[in-house]
């Protein structure tokens, strides 16, 4: 089920032009912070906010989850959404480069998430 949660979160970030979306498995390191981090970035504060908003919306609608805590929504440079088992970090690109959060977990297993084409629906096919 955790892979499904990660996919929903990654898709929500990618749908709003999230860049370099990565999940980091913290379980082998014995982290008490969370089971996974999801990290992504965006080129503007507007995009950072849009990504956070979409993740919150999709997690609620598709997974029935609400964040336990949020940070950074007031400035949109680095937003943290804490869902307990997954903590999401949405960075303005230069902040991600500066803080290099992923380097702290360099040995942890990670996965890059790519935009996937949504399957065609009957409605899409009818218009062709």
Q: Which of 12, 20, 10, 33 is nearest to 91 (CA)?
A: 20
SS3 49: helix
Q: Which of 76, 84, 101, 89 is nearest to 40 (CA)?
A: 89
- Which class would CATH give 2-105? alpha beta
Q: pLDDT (tens digit, 9 = 90+) per residue, 40-73?
A: 999 999 999 999 999 999 999 999 999 999 999 9
DSSP one-letter string for 61-128: III----SEEE-TTT-SEEEEE-SSEEEEEEEHHHHHHH-HHHHTTTS-EEEE---PPPPPHHHHHT-
pLDDT confidence bin for 30, thresholds 50/70/90: confident
- pLDDT above 60 (res 119): no
Q: Tell me what pLDDT residue 1 has.
A: 66
Return the domain boundaries, the chain: 2-105
Average pLDDT over residues 7-26: 97
Exposure letters 111-122 (e unless 16+ CB within 10 A, then b): eebeeeeeeeee
Model pTM score: 0.89
Strand order in the sheet with 69-71: 69-71, 78-82, 86-92, 36-42, 19-25, 110-113
Q: Are 102 and 40 in contact (CB under 8 A)?
A: no
Q: pLDDT (tens digit, 9 = 90+) per residue, 71-109?
A: 999 999 999 999 999 999 999 999 999 999 999 989 999
Q: Tell me what pLDDT residue 32 has.
A: 82
């Amino acid at each position: 089920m955790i892979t499904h949660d990660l996919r929903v979160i990654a898709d929500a970030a990618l749908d709003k032009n999230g860049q370099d979306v990565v999940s980091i498995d913290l379980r082998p390191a014995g982290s008490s912070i969370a089971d996974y981090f999801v990290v992504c970035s965006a080129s503007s504060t507007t995009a950072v906010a849009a990504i956070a908003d979409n993740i919150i919306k999709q997690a609620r609608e598709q997974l029935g989850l609400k964040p336990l805590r949020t940070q950074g929504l007031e400035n949109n440079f680095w937003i943290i959404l804490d869902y307990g088992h997954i903590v999401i970090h949405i960075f303005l690109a230069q902040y991600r480069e500066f803080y290099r959060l992923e380097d702290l977990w360099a040995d942890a297993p990670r996965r890059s998430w790519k935009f996937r084409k949504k399957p065609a629906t009957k409605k899409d096919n009818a218009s062709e």
